[in-house]
Structure 1
Amino acid sequence: MAALQFPCTIFTTQNRMDDYSAKDMRCGDLTEAQLKTHYHLVDVSTRANPYTLTKITPFNQPQSMFYGSRGEGEKITRQQCAAILFDEFRLLSRLFSVYGPYNHLIEKMIGHMQNGNGKPFRNISLDRALKDHILYDSSRNSTRLLLENVLKNSINWEQQYIPTDKKDALRAAILQGKLPKFDRFQDNFNGMGITVHDTWATHITIKSLQIDNNRYHAVLHYKVQDHFGLDVDDISKFKFNQFRFFRIWFVLQRFNQFSFKPFMTNIEATIEISGERNDDQK
């Protein structure tokens, strides 16, 4: 039996990398009438009206006791309105990134949406968050721990290699677990839940494998991609629509008068695992 050659990609999700046709990657495709009628996005911002391009003051805010006493608000340009909405977008993001080493990321990513023109986004803090997630997940759903166990059982210890027909077993081990996602309780407050939360695509590769007598040492590489964008299913859910943060985000992305591009968030982590031959194989 032939030996598995490294690096070897042992797992890929059905969702593909760099899928710009995904629903949450659309932008500038909805009209004012659609936003208001289908998604109930009438009250978007407390600072500027994206439809009339006017500043909002206590005198032209419907909830205010002063509403209507001074007529319409000050007219502004589309660019000025977008800048005001992005500032409010950043301010509201602090509700979801209260503490921790990643709470600065959401403002960086909002700035990237504002100025990056859809270019992919990388940040060392995202890579560190992924690596920590993988290393500190000690649950039975941990892909790292599942791979540790299956790797030692896949090795031909006498000839010191992994046969190619064991590749399916390695993939099956990952399918038994849970891919690293930032949907834990702490991610609601540490900045990762709002920046990444779920993920779109994941590739897991064994970069190298060293077998010495009754021990092995492997280097694994996780490549994860998410989309910083909203689809219509997101904004149709009450848990998103109730927050002004998401209403502003959706309008900036999907309103045909703004059309700010969503982008790919690329995250990578390299970890090492090791194990020893089972006692019953000695």
Structure 2
Amino acid sequence: MRGEDKKIINELLHNNGFKSLTLEDLGELNLRISKEAKLPKFDDWDWFIGLDITIHDTYSTKIYLNDFEIIETETREFRRKSFKARLTFQIQDHFGLDINDMNGKIFELSSWFCSWLILQRYKTYGFKPFINEANFCTWIE
């Protein structure tokens, strides 16, 4: 996602003349990232190491803009504006299957996966999902 979020922030800053971001700018940034950026997903059918089947998709992703700085560089020949930003990602997923995992995929044709879904979701069997969470920060410039 790093290339997409950097592109969106860069376009937003270019359009406002590299001024400080207003609340309206931040709202537009939030809207564009939620519509245009591809969130982390293991969707390449990698069955060998098991990522596709264990953490193939995320249930919740929050992105925080923690630090933001506009950098101006001036020489005799040109004047350049750029930015440096620190983004924090909080990604959550539940272990197991849900309806979206099954519908429209080959999994719904497998009795093994259907049984797994029932065992995980049937309240009489003591349905108790657990959440995996990953948090990390990254700088973009």
Give the TM-score taking structure 1 as reference length: 0.39
1:236-247 matched pairs, under 5 angstroms? 239-241=106-108, 242=110, 244=112, 246-247=113-114
The answer to whether the 8 Å contact 1:154/1:166 transfers is: no
Q: Structure 2 vs 1, CA of residues 161 and 230 (structure 1 numbering), >3 Å: closer, same or farther?
A: same
Unaligned runs of 5+ in 1: 1-133, 136-141, 275-282
Unaligned runs of 5+ in 2: 73-80
Larger radius of gyration: 1
Q: Structure 2 vs 1, CA of residues 154 and 208 (structure 1 numbering), >3 Å: closer, same or farther?
A: farther
1:226-241 matched pairs, under 5 angstroms? 226-231=93-98, 234=101, 239-241=106-108
Range 204-213 or range 169-178, more displaced: 169-178
Q: Structure 2 vs 1, CA of residues 144 and 238 (structure 1 numbering), >3 Å: closer, same or farther?
A: closer
Give the TM-score taking structure 2 as reference length: 0.69
Percent identity between matched residues is 32
Pick 1 or 2: higher relative contact order, CA cutoff 8 A, min separation 6: 1
The answer to whether the 8 Å contact 1:219/1:272 transfers is: yes
DSSP 3-state at the match of 1:179: coil
Runs of 4+ with >6 A deviation: none
Answer yes or no: is 1:144 the counterpart of 2:11: no
Q: Structure 2 vs 1, CA of residues 181 and 251 (structure 1 numbering), >3 Å: closer, same or farther?
A: same
Which structure carries more strand by proportion?
2
After superposition, give the CA deviation of every residue in 1:91-145 in whole Å (9 maximum; x if it has no partner).
xxxxxxxxxxxxxxxxxxxxxxxxxxxxxxxxxxxxxxxxxxx45xxxxxx5333
Partner of 1:195: 54
Partner of 2:128: 261
Task: State the 1:255 CA deviation.
Answer: 4.5
Q: Distance in 1 between matches of 2:99 and 2:23?
A: 43
Task: State the 1:273 CA deviation.
Answer: 0.5
**What letter is aligned with 1:182?**
F
Task: State the 1:235 CA deviation.
Answer: 5.2
